[in-house]
Amino acid sequence: MKEVSTIEEYIAQQSSEHQKVIEKMRALIKKNAPKAYEKISYRMPTYTMNNQVIAHFHTAKNHLGFYPTPEGVEAFRAKTTEYKTAKGVIQFPYKNIPFDLIKEIIEYRVLQIKDK
């Protein structure tokens, strides 16, 4: 993948299937974090508020990598047992992306940042 500097460039490099997922994620984050700043960081779409990361995400061959920070992953550990996780990341298979859960995590991160 070529180096990109905007979300639009990132989207343009993806397959049509992945483009749909990215657009849905983008809309979900913008709706639930309307004050978020959108940028590319670590070669991924990234959303920040008050200079703190709400979440990053990226499209891999078989899954959506969702990076809501280690705190975001830990807070939802009980709800993510069926997914592969690591410090700071949850991998969602494309056939079953839980957008309602992602919405909850985004809302949690926004509240966490507002409280700091």
φ/ψ of residue 39, rounded to 5: -160, 175
Q: Which domains, from first to last, does the chain contain? A: 7-115 (3.90.1150.200)
Q: Structure pTM? A: 0.94
Whether 116 has a pLDDT exceeding 80, the answer reads no
Work out the pLDDT band at 115, boundaries 50, 70, 90.
confident
Count of residues making up the chain: 116
Query: Half-sphere exposure of residue 40, counting CA atoms within 13 Å on the CB side?
Result: 12
Decide if pLDDT at 76 tops 80. Answer: yes
Contact call for residues 7 and 45 (beta carbons, < 8 A): yes
pLDDT of residue 70: 97
| Strand segments (E) across the chain | 37-41, 44-49, 52-59, 63-67, 84-86, 89-93
